[in-house]
Amino acid sequence: TEANLAATDSSTDTPTNSFCTLNPLDNYYPASTFSEGNCKIATNASNQTFNTGTIGLSTGKWYWEAYLTTAGGEESIGITDIVSTGTGIYGGKTANSYSFKGNNGDIRNNDSNASYGNAYAQDVVIGVALNLDDNEIKFYKDGTVENSGTAHSITAPASTSTGLYFPMFGDVDTDSVVWSVNFGGSPAFTVSSGNADANGYGNFEYAVPSGYLALCTKNLGSDGG
State pLDDT tens for residues 133-188: 999 999 999 999 999 999 999 999 999 999 999 999 999 887 789 999 999 998 89
| Predicted pLDDT of residue 222 | 61
Rounded Cα gap, residues 193 and 27, in angstroms: 32
Digit-coded pLDDT (tens) for 40-60: 999 999 988 999 999 999 999
| Predicted pLDDT of residue 55 | 97
| Predicted pLDDT of residue 74 | 86
| Predicted pLDDT of residue 175 | 79
Rounded Cα gap, residues 76 and 79, in angstroms: 10
Digit-coded pLDDT (tens) for 80-96: 999 999 988 999 999 99
| Predicted pLDDT of residue 172 | 86
1 to each of 4, 5, 8, 13, how far by Cα in Å?
10, 10, 17, 21
Maximum pairwise Cα distance, the chain: 54
Cα–Cα nearest to 66, from 200, 211, 223, 171: 171
Rounded Cα gap, residues 39 and 89, in angstroms: 22
Residues of the chain with pLDDT > 70, as a percent, come to 92
Digit-coded pLDDT (tens) for 6-46: 655 556 666 778 999 999 999 999 999 999 999 999 999 99
Rounded Cα gap, residues 201 and 122, in angstroms: 28
pTM: 0.93
| Predicted pLDDT of residue 181 | 97
Number of CB atoms found within 10 A of residue 186's CB: 22
Q: What is the mean pLDDT of residues 109-125?
A: 96
| Predicted pLDDT of residue 76 | 94
| Predicted pLDDT of residue 13 | 65
Q: What is the mean pLDDT of residues 102-124?
A: 96
Digit-coded pLDDT (tens) for 186-202: 889 989 888 999 999 99
Rounded Cα gap, residues 24 and 9, in angstroms: 19
Q: Note the Cα 198 to chain centre separation in Å.
A: 20
